[in-house]
Structures are given as structure tokens and as C-alpha cells.
Structure 1
């Protein structure tokens, strides 16, 4: 029998949820606030920052100094390109692990997940040298390949979880009706797993968009995404807080908007299969 939730308990949980949410969101809110201040005001005390006047001077300087659209389109191409290629590889791989019996399936899944535990610096030099030898250093193609490989374990793990929730009898019925392997994946499995695939797509777009380690070390100008755009406002002379905040706000705004409109899908995807 379910336990009744008292109004006091509900109010307490609501207040705690708002407090936790505000604490998590506060750095972003403060970054946006500093972006509308002058450099002199941005380094002041919190009360001084709140009381100072608002200005778009930092945004004007950022627009004059940097090509925002160039970095923005690089981020879009890298995020969508790596995610789409990852899904093309991940859907058949997850299907095979979910519906083809095998004693080593869990071992393979754990091996793929273990690659995410390895420090990225451990493979930086080999990948950097490969990029130089192949001419893919500071190119969108090279970065798409790297981002695809580092996010592929997450794509396969998530899709595997979704596919395991689909009854195997449905696929067997499709085979009995004469469906080929390709038609089974395309017309039966994929439409049933659209919510899971959409959640995987959204999460991996966010991960690729926010990836900083590889994008800062494998690019300089041509393929530099918004992470490099932000880093360009940190100099040996010091941090220009207002300009850095303006650049950060411009970089995170698109992904914040995407996350806001797709939050229900993201929550459903991240919690799918957790509750039976």
C-alpha cells in the first residue's frame, strides 16, 4: 500500500528541489550577469556587480574580435556529424548485443565502458601524431572521427538498454513474415526505439558540444569550435571576466535552449529502464 504524502513533506521536498536547482544553475546565471558588465565592474564584489549598470560593451568587443559564426558552425557540424555517425554504427551494434545470444556480450559492453575510464592524456600523443601523418589535424573530419570514437561506448550502452526493453517476439514475428535483417532494423526496431534513439542523440550532441580537451588540442583555427572561442579570452595577462562571460554566454546559449526544449525527452531517456 502506497504511503500518503503529507502537504508538509511535499512542500519541504519542493523547497529543497528549488534550492538544489538554484545552486546548480547559479554559475550559469552569474556568468550571464557578468557578461552585461564592464571589466571594472565585473571584478568587483558581488554587491557591486549587482548594483552596477548594465551594458553590452563586452558583447560588442567579442563580436569585433572573434568570428562567432565560424566557431558556431564548427560546433554544429562536429556535434551533429559525430552523433549521426555514432548512431549509424551504434544501432546495428546495440541490436546485435541485445538480440543475438552471446556469452561475451557483457564482457564487450564492460570493455567499451572501460575505455571511458582511461585518462584522455594517455592517448593524446598517438592521436596527435596520427593527425599530423594523415593531414587531419585541425580539420572537421579529424575531430568528427575523434568525437565519434570517444562517445561511441555511451551510444551503444544507451541503445542496448533501450533495445533490451523491446520484446524479442516482435522481431521474430517480422522474420517469420519474411523481413530481412536490414528491414527488421529499419522498419521494426528503429521506429519502436525512436524515443530512446532521440534521447541518445540529444545527450551525445550535448557531450560533443561541450567537449573541450580534444577540441582545444587538435585544432587551432580552421576547425575550432566554441570551446576554443571561449578559451581565446584567457590570456597570460589575466582573465577578462566580462568578455570571457560574454563569450561563454554566446557559446552555451544554443545548447541551453536545446536542453530546455528537450528536457522531458532527456529525463525520460536517462531514466528509461530504471523503473520496471
Structure 2
């Protein structure tokens, strides 16, 4: 009797596992389909892209990509790369010692500090837009890439501190004690002992900060003009009320999305390890 119950329970578990797997595949396909459709549309002519219903078997063309690159997107792409990479580096350099102080060597009332970091994300971005604009205008900082770097650093710093703290809290105390016995100072401990252990967590935080910085539009739209214009702002210029532009917009969207996709695939294993490590309690 007990064996039969075990077999029935096993079948139910397997059935539930298959159902969840099927549901996960369905959700994944629903998320990927718009991206695949955008990719296919980017290789069509404007006439074929504008057909209703769409013609999936329409001849492929690179006209959308040629039209996009003819508009000169390189300065905007370079600005996005500069702002995203430099702000991510600054975030990690600032968040790593802060997370160390809040986890391995906790400061007094560290919970209040953590919630203060979190509270800075509760303010709607648009609520601080006017004061930031007026300040940047008064100091002559409008249309300056360094203004975006500072803003992106301040926006992503709370997220990085919270993420890195969860990773650092899993570092064994024994290796820190061994480093202290060997005479390693704080800087050496952070660089040579702690950092290699939490490399997946650092990669996860850096990737998320890079994605947030690359995709940010509101500040870049309002605070930049032509000199510091970023790729998302450049992309909005293709949306007009006249003419056919669908294939060109899809081609531009694919090109602008490539750096994030490349970074995600490059750090995929580190990202999975980092998120798994942060979930262990």
C-alpha cells in the first residue's frame, strides 16, 4: 500500500513538473516573440514592414540598417557606452566598501543605513527632474556627459549596495580571520580576499547597473541636447507622424539593444551564480 501511494505521489510530482516546465516555455516564448518579430521586421523594406496583415515571407533587405547608419548614430552610441561604463565602474567602487561595512564589519545602526539607501529609490524620478535641471543650468552642466555619469551613479548606487551586501554576508568569516593573521590590511583584504569570492555578485550588480544606465531615457532626454545625446534619445528621433519608418525603427532598436545583449550573454554564468549566491540564507 505504501509503495502504491509513493508511486502515485511520484507521478503527481512529475506531472506537476512537466506542467510548470510547459508553462515556463510558454511564458518564455511570449516574451521572445516580440523581439523576434522586431528582428524580422528590421530586415524588410518599409513597404513590406507596413503591410497589414504582415507578410512574413517578404524578401529580406538591409535598407533599414543602411538608413539607420546613414543618420550617424556613432556619437550617441559612444555617449551611452561612456556614461554606462564609467557610472557602473564608479558604482562598484563605491558600493563594494559600503556593502562590506554593512555586512562583514557592520557599522552602528546598519539597518537604518540600508533603509536610507532604499528610501532614495522611492522618490519618483520626475519629481527631482526640475531641481536637477535648474542646478545643471546654473553651473553650466547641461548637455554634458559627466552630468549623466554622476546621475546614473547616484541612481544605481542603492541597488548595488543592497545586492552586494547579500553576497558579502555569505563570505566565510574564517578566510577574513586568516587574512588578518597573515597581516593583510583592509585594502588588501578587499582586493585579494573578498573580491575574488564574490566575483559573481559583483558581475551581477555591474550588469544590472549597466542595463539601467544604458536604458535610461528621462534624464538624458531633458538634460542633453546634441553633444551628450545618448542612444535611447537618438532612437526617439525616428518616431515621426509622416512617412514609413517601421523597418528603420526596428533596425535602430536592434542595434541599440546589442550592447546590453552582448553584456548579458558574456556575463550569463556569473549572473546566474551571483543571483543564486545572493539567494542562499
Match of 1:248 among 237, 253, 270: 253
Aligned: 1:257 with 2:262: yes
State the shift of 1:177 in Å. 3.0
Rounded Cα–Cα distance in structure 2 between residues aligned with 1:45 and 1:110: 51
Spell out the pairing of 1:169-208 with structure 2 (5 A cutoff): 169-208=174-213
Aligned: 1:39 with 2:30: no
Indicate the residue corresponding to 2:3 in structure 1. none
Q: 1:22 to 1:81 in 2, by over 3 A?
A: same
Shifted more, 192-201 versus 146-155: the winner is 192-201
Q: 1:272 to 1:33 in 2, by over 3 A?
A: same
State the shift of 1:109 in Å. 1.0
Rounded Cα–Cα distance in structure 1 between residues aligned with 2:178 and 2:276: 29
- Cα deviation digits, residues 122-158 of structure 1 (max 9, x gap): 1001111222222222122111111000000011111
Rounded Cα–Cα distance in structure 2 between residues aligned with 1:238 and 1:108: 53
* Equivalences, count: 273
State the shift of 1:11 in Å. 3.6
Rounded Cα–Cα distance in structure 2 between residues aligned with 1:50 and 1:236: 25
Match of 2:225 among 220, 228, 240: 220
- Cα deviation digits, residues 179-214 of structure 1 (max 9, x gap): 222222222221222121112112211111111222
Rounded Cα–Cα distance in structure 1 between residues aligned with 2:25 and 2:257: 22
Rounded Cα–Cα distance in structure 2 between residues aligned with 1:9 and 1:101: 43
Indicate the residue corresponding to 2:67 in structure 1. 61
Match of 1:234 among 225, 230, 239: 239
Q: Which runs of 5+ in 1 are unaligned?
A: none
Spell out the pairing of 1:1-276 with structure 2 (5 A cutoff): 4=10, 8-46=15-53, 48-64=54-70, 66-237=71-242, 240-276=245-281
TM-score between both structures, scaled by the size of structure 2: 0.89
Does the 8 Å CA contact 2:85/2:210 hold for their aligned counterparts?
yes
